[in-house]
Structure 1
Amino acid sequence: MPRVLAIDYGQKRTGLAVTDEMQIIASGLTTIPSATAIAFLKDYFFKEKVEVVLIGEPKQMNGQPSESASMIKGFVTHFSNHFPDMKVIRVDERFTSKMAVQSMLDSRLKKKQRQNKALIDEISATIMLQDYLNRKMF
């Protein structure tokens, strides 16, 4: 069974998470510089079969698009131009960064590790992906 990949795209960094082949568990894949995202994904899709890509959709508390929404929309267009056959699902990413930090606190990571923004981005992508899997199962 192909995997599902989640992308938490940001101006500087992009967090990536992926499912296992049974699409049951989400795991952090890596965090990459955003400028290298398309090249990284080309290589990854060559090596791994992926059927769906989730891309975070940043929203404000009132449901309106956030400031970074237009930047991410540009990435989605760029992504779709490079991977026209890949199914893309936009998912609400509100609170994922806060949840990632809380997860790091709950895991008792040291302060230095909790300040690692790349790790926060990767965990945020994992939270988005696991939430999608949980909703898909029910």
Structure 2
Amino acid sequence: MGKILGIDYGTVMTGLSITDEQKIFSFGLISLYTEKLFIFLDPFLCTENIEKIVIGCPRKWNNKKEINLEKKIIKFIHIFHTKFPNIDIERIDERFTSKMAFYSMIELGFKKKQRKEKKILHTISATIILQSYLKKQEIL
């Protein structure tokens, strides 16, 4: 039984999270510059038993997709699927995850300077995206 990898894809920075083997909890993994994403993923996916990735689907308040970012995500998915055809890909609405991550940082006592750190924000957002997916699967 494999794990699930969560991705908060961004134009500059991308956050990653991962589930436990029972797929109950998501844990923040890492945030890195998007241009270096495959440099991390190539060896990582060869050593970890990942059966699925969940990528956030950016939407605006009015439920319309963020066109510019969505084009980049579609390109990433195409390259990913070419390299790793045996790993399923699912999408989930990621509206408000950045705000939820920011407020989580406040609740956890992060100092103002730490809250400006985009790496932490994207890792928490990826964790929220993945945990939302797990919760949704629990209901179904």
User: TM-score when scaled to structure 1?
Assistant: 0.95
Q: Counterpart of 2:27?
A: 27
Q: Structure 1: how far apart are the matches of 2:95 and 2:80?
A: 22
TM-fit CA distance, 1:104: 0.3
Q: Counterpart of 2:112?
A: 111
AA aligned to 1:100 is A
Write out the 4+ residue segments of structure 1 that deviate beyond 3 Å after TM superposition.
none
Q: Counterpart of 1:59?
A: 59
SS in 2 for 1:4: strand
Q: Counterpart of 1:16?
A: 16
Confirm or deny that 1:129 pairs with 2:130.
yes
Q: Structure 2: how far apart are the matches of 1:89 and 1:137?
A: 16
AA aligned to 2:101 is A
Q: Counterpart of 1:86?
A: 87
AA aligned to 2:54 is L
Residues 51 and 86 of structure 2 are in contact (CA less than 8 Å); yes or no, is this contact kept in structure 1? no
User: Equivalent pairs: percent with the same residue?
Assistant: 40
Q: What is the root-mean-square deviation in Å for CA atoms of aligned residues?
A: 1.0
Q: Which runs of 5+ in 2 are unaligned?
A: none
Q: Structure 1: how far apart are the matches of 2:38 and 2:2?
A: 19
CA deviation vs aligned residue, 1:52-95 (integer Å, no higher than 9, x gap): 10011111112111142112111111211211121000111111
